[in-house]
C-alpha cells in the first residue's frame, strides 16, 4: 500500500502540470484580458484602471496604433508598455508560465489584479461561506440519501418505492437555482411569507449577539441556501445507494445469513452495508469538491453569499489571472489528494482490496 500511495503522490506532479498548461493555453487565446480591459477603461469606458498607472506613464494621444491590442488606437506605446509591465505581460508566454510554476511550488500565488489582497487572503476570506454551505449540504444529502436508498432497496417494487422515486426524479429535474428562486418567493419576502433573510450568512449586528443568538442567526440565514443545494443533490446518491444494495441483497452470502436466523437489520447493516457502500465512498471526493468549490456558485449569487464560487466567477469575468490559476491549482491539488484518500478508505472498508498489487 505504501508503494501505491507513493506512486499516486508522484503522479500528482504531471497531472497538475498538464491541467495548468492546458488552462494557461486556453486563457491566452481568450480575448479581453486585463491589458485590453485597462485600455478600454482608459479610452472612456471606465476610469478606475487609470488610477493604477503612474501619472508619468499617462501621456498624450499618439498619431497611430502600434500596440497590437484592440482598442489601443490613440494611446501612447509607452503607456501600453507600462500596462503590460504592471500585469506581467511584458514577458513571453512561456516565461510567464514557468515563472508561475516556480512560484506555485513555493505556494506563492501572487496578488489579485483588482484588489490589494493576495490570492491566499482572498481564498481564506471566502472559504467560511463555501465551507458552511458545502458542509451542511453534504451532511444533509448523505443523511437523507443513504437511509432512503436502503429503504427503497428493501421495499423495491412497492408503493413506497414508486412514489419516492417520483419525488426523487422531480427533485433532480429542478435546477437548484430555480428551486432557490422558488424558496425566495415563498419564504423570503418575495411574494408570500417573510420567514427567512435574503442576503448574507449573518445579520449586521452579529457581533453584538450572545452565543445562542449567533447560532440561531447563522442557521436562520443558512437554511434556504442549504435547502436549495440539497434538493438536486440527493437524487443521484439515493439511486446509487438503492442499486448497490439491490445488487448485494440477492447474493449467496445474504441468503446464508438469513438462513442462519439473523434479523433483517443485522443482515443489512452487518453484511450488506460494507460491500454496498464501496461505490458511495468512491464518489465522495468528487461530491465534496463539487459542493465545496464549484456547485454553490449560483446559490451564492442568488442569496448574496460571498464565497469561493462567486470569487471564481468574478475572476473569470474580470480575467483576474492570479486568482484563476491560484484557485485552480489549490482546488486541483485538494481534489487529487481527496481521491487518494478515497482509495485508502476503500481498504479500510474492505481489507480484501489491495491497491498495491495492481499493475502499473
Binned at pLDDT 50, 70 and 90, residue 315 comes out as confident
Print the domain residue range for 54: 34-108
> Same structural domain for residues 86 and 142?
no
> Same structural domain for residues 258 and 156?
yes
> Same structural domain for residues 97 and 178?
no
Q: What is the pLDDT of residues 147-164, one digit of tens each?
A: 898 889 888 889 998 998
> Same structural domain for residues 98 and 130?
no
CATH number at residue 290: 1.10.3720.10
What is the widest separation between alpha-carbon atoms in the chain? 94
Give first-to-last CA distance, the chain, whole Å.
Answer: 13
Given a cut of 60, whether residue 327 has pLDDT beyond it is: yes
Residue with cell 449586521: 204
Q: What is the mean pLDDT of residues 236-241?
A: 84
**d(Cα 230, Cα 223) in Å, to the nearest integer?**
11
Our count of domains for the chain comes to: 2
Binned at pLDDT 50, 70 and 90, residue 18 comes out as very high
Q: Which of 274, 277, 281, 280 is nearest to 340 (CA)?
A: 281
> Same structural domain for residues 319 and 201?
yes
**Residue 39: CB atoms within 10 Å:** 22
At 22 the pLDDT is: 92
Given a cut of 70, whether residue 173 has pLDDT beyond it is: yes
Residue 67 lies in a domain: yes
- Angle at Cα 109 formed by Cα 108 and Cα 113, nearest 5°? 135
Given a cut of 50, whether residue 66 has pLDDT beyond it is: no
> Same structural domain for residues 184 and 50?
no
**d(Cα 347, Cα 10) in Å, to the nearest integer?**
20
Q: Which residues have a Cβ under 8 Å from the Cβ of 95 and sit 6 or more positions away?
A: none
Mean pLDDT lowest among 31-40, 126-135, 213-222, 225-234: 31-40
Given a cut of 70, whether residue 289 has pLDDT beyond it is: no
What pTM value is reported for the model? Answer: 0.71
- φ, ψ (nearest 5 deg) of residue 205: -95, 30
At 250 the pLDDT is: 79
Last residue of a domain, one of 108, 137, 161: 108
More confident residue, 5 or 66: 5
Amino acid at each position: 500500500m505504501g508503494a501505491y500511495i507513493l506512486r499516486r503522490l508522484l503522479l500528482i506532479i504531471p497531472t497538475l502540470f498538464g491541467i495548468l498548461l492546458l488552462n494557461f493555453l486556453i486563457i491566452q487565446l481568450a480575448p479581453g484580458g486585463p491589458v485590453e480591459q485597462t485600455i478600454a477603461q482608459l479610452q472612456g469606458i471606465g476610469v478606475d484602471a487609470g488610477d493604477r498607472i503612474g501619472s508619468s506613464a499617462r501621456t498624450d494621444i499618439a498619431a497611430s496604433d502600434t500596440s497590437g491590442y484592440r482598442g489601443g488606437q490613440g494611446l501612447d506605446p509607452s503607456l501600453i508598455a507600462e500596462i503590460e509591465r504592471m500585469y506581467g505581460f511584458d514577458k513571453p508566454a512561456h516565461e510567464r508560465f514557468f515563472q508561475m510554476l516556480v512560484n506555485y511550488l513555493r505556494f506563492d500565488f501572487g496578488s489579485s489584479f483588482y484588489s490589494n489582497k493576495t490570492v491566499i487572503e482572498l481564498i481564506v476570506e471566502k472559504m467560511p461561506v463555501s465551507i458552511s454551505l458545502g458542509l451542511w449540504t453534504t451532511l444533509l444529502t448523505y443523511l437523507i440519501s443513504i437511509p432512503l436508498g436502503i429503504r427503497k432497496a428493501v421495499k423495491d417494487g412497492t408503493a413506497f418505492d414508486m412514489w419516492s422515486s417520483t419525488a426523487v426524479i422531480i427533485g433532480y429535474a429542478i435546477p437548484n437555482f430555480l428551486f432557490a428562486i422558488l424558496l425566495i418567493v415563498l419564504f423570503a419576502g418575495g411574494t408570500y411569507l417573510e420567514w427567512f433573510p435574503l442576503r448574507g450568512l449573518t445579520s449586521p449586528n452579529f457581533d453584538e449577539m450572545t452565543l445562542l443568538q449567533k447560532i440561531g442567526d447563522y442557521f436562520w440565514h443558512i437554511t434556504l441556501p442549504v435547502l436549495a443545494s440539497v434538493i438536486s443533490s440527493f437524487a443521484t446518491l439515493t439511486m446509487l445507494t438503492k442499486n448497490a444494495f439491490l445488487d448485494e441483497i440477492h447474493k449467496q452470502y445474504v441468503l446464508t445469513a438469513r438462513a442462519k436466523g439473523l434479523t433483517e437489520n443485522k443482515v443489512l447493516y452487518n453484511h450488506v452495508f460494507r460491500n454496498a457502500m464501496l461505490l458511495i465512498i468512491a464518489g465522495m471526493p468528487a461530491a465534496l469538491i463539487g459542493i465545496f468549490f464549484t456547485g454553490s456558485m449560483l446559490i451564492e449569487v442568488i442569496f448574496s453569499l460571498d464565497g469561493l464560487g462567486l470569487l471564481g466567477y468574478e475572476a473569470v469575468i474580470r480575467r483576474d489571472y492570479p486568482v484563476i490559476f491560484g484557485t485552480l491549482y489549490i482546488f486541483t491539488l485538494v481534489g487529487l489528494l481527496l481521491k487518494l484518500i478515497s482509495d485508502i478508505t476503500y481498504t479500510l472498508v474492505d481489507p480484501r482490496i489491495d491497491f498495491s498489487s495492481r499493475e502499473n
